[in-house]
Amino acid sequence: MQEAVLLRTAKESLSQQNDFASATSQNRNDWIVFAVIVSILWSVPLSLGGFYLYLGLAVAIYAISALGLQTMVGLAGQLSLGHAAFMGIGAYTSVLLQKTLGLPFLVTLAAAGLTAAAAGLLMAQLIRLSGVYFKIATFGFGIVVHQILSNWTALTGGSAGVRGIPVISIIGFQVETRTGLFVCEALTLTLIYGLLVRLSHGKIGRAFRAIGQNEAAARSVGIPVPRYRMIVITLGCAIAGIAGAYLPHLMRFLSPESFTWYESLTCLIMITVGGLGSLPGAIIGAAVLIVAPEYLRDFAQYKMLAFGVLLVASMILLPKGIAGAGAALSRRKRIHAR
């Protein structure tokens, strides 16, 4: 009897060691890939400037937003069809607080994340719905938010939008150039990525993955599924709100039309093309979906068709996305090298 207990304890210890080694390896790989992506993201826009800097700014904003959606969909399997609405909530919260109260950007950035998180918490109350009903509810939530932004003209300016976007002020420093804005965005992206890497390889991240793979099985091992679903939805929406706070400072204009179902669909395609469940994949997907259309302007009328073809092709040819294909290629090279 005692030998059986010792054997079981040894097996559990070995399993925990293997899990820890696997998580550590994956953690290291995520940071290596991220370092490569960031080096490109920093060097190309800053060295070439001009239009390339504009693209770098847009990529960074949507990469942040895609990381939030990746956490919800790729890790926990909570598909949201209204993600852009939370970018809109963050954008309007930040800009209106700057314009009306003159608050510094770091305060309004935090407020953008908190307001979007509160809206996400409200949407998370829909978790009693399941399957396709939950997905439809998130789509409807996004439409409701867009209609509020479009029709509450006294606050948002309606379809006319908000002009005169204030300059970002951080600890007394005025961020008046695109280069300065890019540095702010890149630092925010790095911070959020680091937090998500740490979270995804910890206890909470394992619970998210268990829920995403099989909710019934997660419940059977004692994971409080409703609580973790609420946490991941709120977290993903907060990150989207932070991303949205930067968008008006890039566009120098704020309109509800920047936060329609089309943008939500684009974010979803980003994480699918990049690789569901992969944090680096979210950034890669954002880069592809932002940069590619700029070089295909002659075919702008076929943009949605192209996105649809890209989505279908990636699901057939690269079911784990670009990041998954890259990881598989790297493993194959290591095997052959031995």
* Domains in the chain with CATH codes: 2-337 (1.10.3470)
Q: Does the pLDDT of residue 57 top 80, yes or no? A: yes
Following DSSP, what letter does each residue of 59-77 receive, concatenated? HHHHHHHHHHHHIIIIIT-
C-alpha closest to that of 117 among 231, 279, 280 = 231
- Inter-residue contact 282 to 69 (CB < 8 Å): yes
Q: Does the pLDDT of residue 137 top 90, yes or no? A: no
Q: Does the pLDDT of residue 109 top 70, yes or no? A: yes
Q: pLDDT of 169-190, one tens digit each?
A: 888 788 888 889 999 999 999 9
Please state the pTM of the whole predicted model: 0.86
Q: Report helix, strand or coil for 97.
A: helix
Strands (E) across the chain are located at: 168-170, 173-175
- Inter-residue contact 59 to 181 (CB < 8 Å): no
Task: Round to whole Å and give the CA distance between 322 and 319.
Answer: 9
Q: Does the pLDDT of residue 317 top 70, yes or no? A: yes
Structure tokens given for 245: 């706070």
Give 115: exposed, middle or buried? Use CB within 10 Å, 0-12, 13-18, 19+.
Answer: buried
76 phi, psi to nearest 5 deg: -105, -5
The set of residues, in sequence order, having a beta carbon less than 8 Å from that of 95 and lying 6+ positions away, is 108, 162, 165, 166, 245, 248, 254
Q: Report helix, strand or coil for 323.
A: helix
**Looking up tokens 């930040």, which residue turns up?**
94
Q: Angle formed by the axes of helices 83-101 and 132-151, to 10°?
A: 30
Question: For 129, which DSSP code?
Answer: S
Question: Hey, what amino acid is at 173?
Answer: F
At residue 7, the pLDDT reads 40
Residues written for the chain: 338
Question: Hey, what amino acid is at 215?
Answer: E
Distances (CA, A) of 106 to 86, 110, 184: 18, 6, 10
Question: Hey, what amino acid is at 307?
Answer: F
- Inter-residue contact 88 to 244 (CB < 8 Å): yes
Q: Does the pLDDT of residue 295 top 80, yes or no? A: no
- pLDDT (mean) for 73-97: 94
Pairing of strands 173-175, 168-170: antiparallel
- Of the listed ranges 30-39, 141-150, 194-203, 208-217, the least confidently predicted one is 30-39
Task: Round to whole Å and give the CA distance between 107 and 72.
Answer: 25
Cα 281–Cα 264–Cα 322 angle in degrees, nearest 5: 20
Q: Does the pLDDT of residue 12 top 60, yes or no? A: no
The set of residues, in sequence order, having a beta carbon less than 8 Å from that of 209 and lying 6+ positions away, is 75, 76, 277
- Mean per-residue pLDDT of the chain: 84
* Structure confidence at residue 45 as a pLDDT band (50, 70, 90): confident
| Choice between 331 and 303, residue whose per-residue pLDDT is larger | 303
Question: Hey, what amino acid is at 52?
Answer: Y
- pLDDT (mean) for 256-281: 92
* Structure confidence at residue 308 as a pLDDT band (50, 70, 90): confident
